[in-house]
Amino acid sequence: MRSLLFAGGRSSRMGEDKALVEVDGEAMIARVSRALSEAGLEPIRIAVARPEDVDRYGSVIDESLQIEWVLDGSMYAGPIEALTEALEDPQCEEVQTLQLAPVDVPWVSAELFCSLEEGLGEGDALMIPHDGERSHPLLALIRPHIVLEMIEGGDRRPLHEQFSELQHSVLLEDPEMLRNINSPGDLG
């Protein structure tokens, strides 16, 4: 596992499954998966809420990509739980860095992921993209063993708060690339 794509949300504000919403003729989950692959971040672990999501999402993702599907332990529990489950997986023990990505950032690029990897400092626990107004922790490149120690304590504060307390670097990036889609109005 080189990357973790969060695709287990409810999409309640969108009114339909965000992963399958098309942007420029391609489902968001396919766009983000492609960017991760182009950055060399395979295998891509995709965390989903329900077993049927594997077939639905898999039908729109390029079948040549190396995908590992994992069902969230608790349906719609949130990204902290999905991240904890991934980091506690024995397959993650040897992983030096793990790229996080949410399904709802359709304009993210391979270049962003490569820049995060290039900018991660030796003493950094993570590298977080920032759009000039706010950080984007679900797009962070993390050192799994350090982040796992932090979140294993049961702290359920938002990830941007927890991550800000760890030694990290910030990558200032174009807000359009980092823009996430939460509702139909965000597509305009």
Architecture of domain 3-187: Alpha-Beta Complex (3.90)
Instruction: Report how far residue 53's alpha carbon sits from residue 39's, in angstroms, rounded to the nearest whole number.
Output: 25
pLDDT one-digit tens code per residue, 125-135: 999 999 999 99
Using the predicted structure, report yes or no on whether residue 81 has a pLDDT greater than 90: no
Using the predicted structure, report yes or no on whether residue 156 has a pLDDT greater than 80: no
pLDDT one-digit tens code per residue, 18-58: 999 999 999 999 999 999 999 999 999 999 999 999 999 99
- pLDDT for 50 equals 93
**Contact indicator for 147, 99 with CB cutoff of 8 Å:** no
- The residues spanned by each domain of the chain are 3-187
Using the predicted structure, report yes or no on whether residue 154 has a pLDDT greater than 80: no
